[in-house]
A and B are shown apart, each in its own frame.
Chain A
Amino acid sequence: MIGLTAVFIGAALALNIYVGGARFNAESFVPNIVVLGITRELGPVLAGLMLAGRVSAGIAAEIGTMRVTEQIDAMTTLSTDPFKFLIAPRVLAAVLTLPVLVAVADIIGVMGGYLVAVNSLDFNGATYLRNTFNFLETQDVVLGLTKAAVFGFIIAVMGAYQGYNSSGGALGVGRATTNAVVGAIVLILAVNYLITAFFVE
């Protein structure tokens, strides 16, 4: 699903940049701007937002259900720390997985831009790819993947926090799920800005 999103976003991005660039004869910068936009910004943010919907909600629902059915209390009485057993592994998994997903999404996104540029905008395929990779700096990739890891952290912690503190039966679990998604989305967007600002400094 993230791949599908990435391919369309990459394609749309290429078209827009082409149209915008044409206004001051800068059409040739399409590959450069597409790859920059995707690795630094769109890849991590889009993946983050989509996974906030799925993963954060999933974690909140799972841990929330365990809370209201007293499974978390039961775990404590069995001398096992629910934080170590339930929360830490999920946070770790999200922090490790999201950068991988984003790296894949970045590649697919660039492919989307490439397809449109070569098929509809008369770019030369080899030149397009050469421009893409010559332009991209390690710093861009590091920024994008750092964002991805941080977003993974936010997604898992938000889901776990809301689930862990839910109360009041099925209704409470529903509320926790919604709060997790909304909270994760807002935090991702805010933190995205902060990280970008920090790296630009």
Chain B
Amino acid sequence: MTAKLQLIGLKKKLRGRQVLDGVDLDVAPGKSIVIIGGSGQGKSVTLKCTLGLMKPDSGQVLVDGAEITKMPVEIRARVMRKFGMLFQGAALFDSLSVWENIAFRLIYADNVPRKDARERAIETMRKVRLSPDFADVRPIELSGGMQKRAGLARAIIAKPDILFFDEPTTGLDPITADAINDLIVEMVKELDCAAVSITHDMPSARKISDEIAMLHDGKIVWRGPTSTLDSSGNAMVDQFVAGRADGPIQAVV
């Protein structure tokens, strides 16, 4: 069976630093993988290269077996339809109302009539348990957790095959964070899609993943089913999971 998404030898140098130094990863259909790793280790850069927001210096990104990094932009835009992404700060458009944000892709890329788009946006708001009362307000009036819900609704409205999450729980209180975790699990199951998340929040990583991969020094240093995380036999993983300052990983201060 071909992987839904496969990264092969991704390399990227930024400001003279080899941020990604050959990242290999594959995600099976319907599976949820979480990439953990310290701050500044290149988790976001990995995601950006995958999504085509950044061009890797070398390496390949395969979606359903097709290499996408060298596709012309117009064709890649079609592949993008299979993707849904929840950004770290939700990245809602502050000049549009909440429902227009959620329906953005339908209105501006798929030419769905506004009336139908609005109906689908409101239906999606219910799914992520965001009250339709907020449909017409501006995103800045929403709390952090509600913005994440709106961002999630925007990501799933077109029923993607792969969902990406960049630090979905960062900046949220533990209770709200857990509600977002539940929602992610529920949506991934409902859409039956693959998911790639990055986080350094370990409770969240355990909850939303089938598998965990650890990124360090530009490479995936360990990967395995979530249940084996505590018996990984990898000193770096052990140190990261336990959150200790002493070990093979030096804290960057």
Contact = CB atoms under 8 A, between A and B. Distances in A.
Interface in B86-123: 87-89, 91-94, 104-105, 108-110
B78 to A, nearest CB: 8
B91 A74 contact: yes
B48, B73, B104 pick with most chain A CB within 10 angstroms: B104
B93 A77 contact: no
Range of interface residues on A (Cβ < 8 Å): 10 to 19
Interface residues of B, number: 25
Contacts of B105: 78-80
A97 interface: no
Interface in A65-87: 66, 69-71, 73-81, 85
- What does DSSP make chain B's interface, helix, strand, loop or mixed? mixed
A81 B74 CA distance: 9
A66 B81 CA distance: 22
A76 B80 contact: yes
Contacts of B53: 73, 76-77
B108 A85 contact: yes
Nearest to B89: A69
Contacts of B78: 79
Q: Which of B51, B83, B85, B154 has most A Cβ within 10 Å?
A: B85
B77 A73 contact: no
A77 B91 CA distance: 11
Contact of A73 (B91, B94, B104, B110): B91
B39 to A, nearest CB: 16
B144 interface: no
Interface of A: 66, 69-71, 73-81, 85
Q: Sorted from nearest, which 7 A-B pairs have the closest CB atoms? A: A79-B109, A70-B91, A74-B91, A78-B105, A77-B85, A70-B87, A80-B108
Given A74-B85, A76-B80, 20 more contacts: A69-B89, A70-B87, A71-B93, A71-B94, A73-B53, A73-B87, A73-B91, A74-B92, A74-B154, A76-B52, A77-B51, A77-B84, A77-B85, A78-B105, A79-B77, A79-B80, A79-B81, A79-B109, A80-B104, A85-B108
